[in-house]
Amino acid sequence: MESSGHFGFSATVTYVMVWLANYFGISISWRDGAVLILGSAFLASLPDIDIRLRRIGFRHRGFTHTIWFALLLGALTYLSLSYLSREGIELPITPILAALTVMVAIITHIAADALNHQRVRPLTPLSDVGIALHLFRSSNRAANSGFFLIGLSLVVIYFYGLGRADIVVEAALAGVAAVAGLAAVTDRVGGH
Ligand SMILES: [Zn+2]
């Protein structure tokens, strides 16, 4: 998936996560929810840094597309922000929320890539199990712009406080299903 698609996919998944958490009584403040949704949407393309790092030996969809990378970056974020706050620097967000946001960004990126043809192996080297749902190519325009539009709409809805209406979650899920279906069809019609 391209960065626009990753932005939208991560925004959608985190929007639904925040909504579900509140629904099941795990109360997440509006501000923490906003950090989680916007933060993971903007960081969602982080794992694709491996494309730029090919020259120094990184394989695309390799280490940066694993659970270990998510844990490593989450731990580094937590430790460095905790250090800063112990040094008396006032942070706008808690270290745990920042770490969670980074991890969610990476995990939702891997999930989005799993919709394409090239396998992701999120547990490698512990397990070589690979996931590729073969729904559409990562460059599919319908998928990238569709996910982007849904994600962006949810961000706007969240910021305007319209998300309390239950229908938004169902609409988001239906939208994601529709975009994935449409992308799968255009991929096949496109003859690739
Ligand atoms: Zn990727």
pLDDT digits (tens, 9 = 90+) for 116-172: 998 999 998 899 899 999 999 999 999 999 999 999 999 999 998 876 667 888 889
Distance 165 CA to ligand 1 centre (A): 33
Q: Is the pLDDT of residue 6 over 70?
A: yes
Average pLDDT, the chain: 92
Q: What are phi and psi of 131, to 5 degrees?
A: -125, 125
Count of CB atoms within 10 A of residue 190's CB? 12
**How far apart, in whole angstroms, are the C-alpha atoms of residue 46 and residue 106?**
7
Distance from Cα 61 to the centre of ligand 1, integer Å: 6
24 CA to centre of ligand 1 in angstroms? 31
Give dist(CA 164, CA 172) in Å, integer. 13
Dihedrals phi, psi of 44, to nearest 5 degrees: -60, -20
Q: How far apart are the CA of 64 and the centre of ligand 1, in A? A: 8
Q: What is the mean pLDDT of residues 166-186?
A: 89
**Local structure of 153: helix, strand or coil:** helix
The Å distance, Cα 74 to ligand 1 centre, comes to: 18
pLDDT at 46 over 90: yes
Q: What angle do CA 158, 33, 140 make, to 5 degrees?
A: 65
Residues in the chain: 192
- Mean of the pLDDT values across residues 108-118? 94
Nearest to 6 by CA among 116, 122, 132, 159: 116
Distance 113 CA to ligand 1 centre (A): 6
Distances (CA, A) of 44 to 182, 183, 185: 23, 20, 25
Question: Could you tell me the distance, in angstroms and rounded to a whole number, from the CA of residue 110 to the centre of ligand 1?
Answer: 6
Predicted local distance difference test score (pLDDT) of residue 149: 96
- Is 99 a residue whose pLDDT tops 70? yes
pLDDT at 164: 65
* Residue list, CB under 5 A from ion ligand 1: 47-48, 113
Rounded Cα distance, 30 and 52, in Å: 35
Quote the ligand 1 centre to 12 CA distance (angstroms).
17
**% of the chain surpassing 90 pLDDT:** 76
